[in-house]
Amino acid sequence: MYMGKSRTKISNREKPFWQVSVSAMRDSLCIEEPAPCVEDAILGEKGAIVPLHSQVGPEEQDAELGINPVYVRVARREIPRYKLPAEGMLPDTALQVVRDELILDGNARLNLATFVTTWMEPQAAQLMAECFDKNMIDKDEYPQTAELERRCVNILGDLWHAPAGSTAPGCSTTGSSEACMLGGMALLWRWRQRRRAAGLDTTWPNLVMGTNVQVCWEKFCRYWQVEPRQVPMVPDRLFLRGPEAAAQCDENTIGVVAIMGSTMDGSYEPVQEINDALDELYTERKVDIPIHVDGASGGFVAPFIQPHLQWDFRVPRVASINASGHKYGLVYPGVGWVVWRDEDALPEDLVFRVNYLGGDMPTFALNFSRPGGHVAAQYYNFVRLGFDGYRRVQQSCQDVAMYLSGEVAKLGPFELLSDGSDLPVFAFRLRDDVTAYTVFDLSERLRMRGWLVPAYTFPADLTDTAVIRIVIRNGFTMDLAGLLLDDLRRQIQCLDAHSQPHAPLVPPHQRQSFAH
């Protein structure tokens, strides 16, 4: 962790999918050839979505994994699927066995569900491979990797307008979830310190945010026993605004989370407006509430394409900011960042010391060991692209997002909820008069061509609103956008042409694809 710039740091509708005849399904899918086994591709083995892995049941414990005879010298070989094989195999055989298992994974570049980087230059991939053996925590052994982390924290502090003269401490993390945990902990510790110093009760902390927050904030609240005060989304306000935030605050509020790039639709929350509403609250009731900006995506977008937007440390109440290096920071999955306004924003007793070049190095993390290659790759991107390179990448993503959202709006059945003018992300829903199919039907049919486009319902109070969200990332060109539009047009025509209800491709209870 670096303590500042100046220091060294799925009629057939009622039937379940598996009871629908192949010909009925083929008909509903508008395909002439026998339908591929789509449910396997989507759901994986046994059609189960496994959010958290558990031990397989007794009937599966001895299941075997057959190995293609071409890969082995013995005529036939099997290994246990869920137990450690008694003996090993040659590396090339192992490589092929594992690769064969992975071929049903989707094509990451066509994954318009994720915010996370799916393509880096080969040089960056090479650099990461060269650093696979470096452990980020071994600051003493890998001082130059530590130095690159320090430079990255300084670069981000500067990009996010840390106040002049501030040490703006910060660190790398495994992603924004960990970074949000650290930001939330600092808010909680500071609130407790203030309350204890005033001899006040510290049993009922709360954190104010919209229901559109990413799940990491609900986790934070549960893990740290903080009451989540969530402001519901309503049809004409899909994110948190100042007055609603301030109305939820009281003397037990540790902070307000403002999201720069709502996970639901990519819209930015008005940080300055929230700040101003909290100022009024202070004037009226003398409760002084800091803001944590969850810039998981926007932290790497706004500085480059919305430079005049006041959302970062220029806004006085912003105490800390997180961002995912592995989203619009353009690094493969595994790195996030968090920076605090100044040392006062980060309570000293959260900081641990590790040995560093004979001295001690302050660290703040939930993990201990972590790969060093991601930090090296972040720094690579900084020097490779510079400000103008990042600006061009993010601007081109936004150009594609705005073109695509504009064309989607012209298709007819859709209504845009956002257009990509904040994050290069937009969400749309079916107009109320379109009843022949759902966004889930459309999402599943797009998947037959390889497009991974999630359909999901909004959170509490807006759960009857189902949308499709498209995230445009580096590498998604105008050409790919044109191909996606062609497929969208084709599938809408197909769904319109079949006025009878369509057999879903996956069982209804498994259709919710949104998981970010």
Q: Which residues lie near ligand PLP (CB under 6 A)?
A: 115, 175-177, 180, 214, 216, 259, 261, 263, 294, 296-297, 324, 336, 516
Residues pairing with 256 in the sheet: 208, 291
Residue 142 or 300 having the CB closest to ligand PLP: 300
The answer to whether 127 and 148 have CB atoms below 8 angstroms apart is no
Residue 185's contacts (CB-CB under 8 Å, 6 or more residues apart) are 224, 350
User: For residue 488, how far is the Cα from the chain centroid?
Assistant: 25
Residue 131 or 180 having the CB closest to ligand PLP: 180
The answer to whether 141 and 379 have CB atoms below 8 angstroms apart is no
Closest CA to 292 of 231, 249, 339: 339
Residue 153 or 488 having the CB closest to ligand PLP: 153
- Find the shortest distance in angstroms from Cβ 210 to ligand PLP: 11
- Find the shortest distance in angstroms from Cβ 59 to ligand PLP: 35
Phi and psi at residue 463, to the nearest 5°: -70, -15
The answer to whether 408 and 430 have CB atoms below 8 angstroms apart is no
Residue 17 or 239 having the CB closest to ligand PLP: 239
d(Cα 136, Cα 375) in Å, to the nearest integer? Answer: 8
Q: What is the sign of the dihedral through the CA atoms of 360, 364, 369 and 375? A: negative
Residue 10 or 375 having the CB closest to ligand PLP: 375
Residue 29 or 113 having the CB closest to ligand PLP: 113
Residue 214 or 418 having the CB closest to ligand PLP: 214
- Find the shortest distance in angstroms from Cβ 263 to ligand PLP: 4
Q: What value does the CA radius of gyration of the chain take, rounded to a whole number of Å?
A: 25
- Find the shortest distance in angstroms from Cβ 345 to ligand PLP: 19
Residue 512's contacts (CB-CB under 8 Å, 6 or more residues apart) are 456, 457
Residue 97 or 264 having the CB closest to ligand PLP: 264
Residue 424's contacts (CB-CB under 8 Å, 6 or more residues apart) are 266, 301, 394, 397, 398, 400, 401, 402, 471, 472, 473
d(Cα 102, Cα 52) in Å, to the nearest integer? Answer: 19
- Find the shortest distance in angstroms from Cβ 78 to ligand PLP: 37
Residue 42 or 180 having the CB closest to ligand PLP: 180
Residue 10 or 427 having the CB closest to ligand PLP: 427
Lookup: tokens for 332: 């493969």
The answer to whether 335 and 172 have CB atoms below 8 angstroms apart is yes
- Find the shortest distance in angstroms from Cβ 394 to ligand PLP: 16
d(Cα 250, Cα 205) in Å, to the nearest integer? Answer: 10
- Find the shortest distance in angstroms from Cβ 423 to ligand PLP: 9
- Find the shortest distance in angstroms from Cβ 96 to ligand PLP: 31
Return the SS3 of 3. Answer: coil
Residue 205 or 336 having the CB closest to ligand PLP: 336
- Find the shortest distance in angstroms from Cβ 288 to ligand PLP: 25
- Find the shortest distance in angstroms from Cβ 513 to ligand PLP: 14
The answer to whether 39 and 448 have CB atoms below 8 angstroms apart is no
Measure Cα distances from 166 to 147, 344, 457 in Å.
19, 10, 43
d(Cα 478, Cα 474) in Å, to the nearest integer? Answer: 11
Residue 242 or 336 having the CB closest to ligand PLP: 336
Q: How many CB atoms lie within 10 A of CB 19?
A: 9
Say if strands 455-457 and 466-471 run parallel, antiparallel, or are unpaired.
antiparallel
- Find the shortest distance in angstroms from Cβ 326 to ligand PLP: 6
- Find the shortest distance in angstroms from Cβ 184 to ligand PLP: 11
Q: How many CB atoms lie within 10 A of CB 120?
A: 19
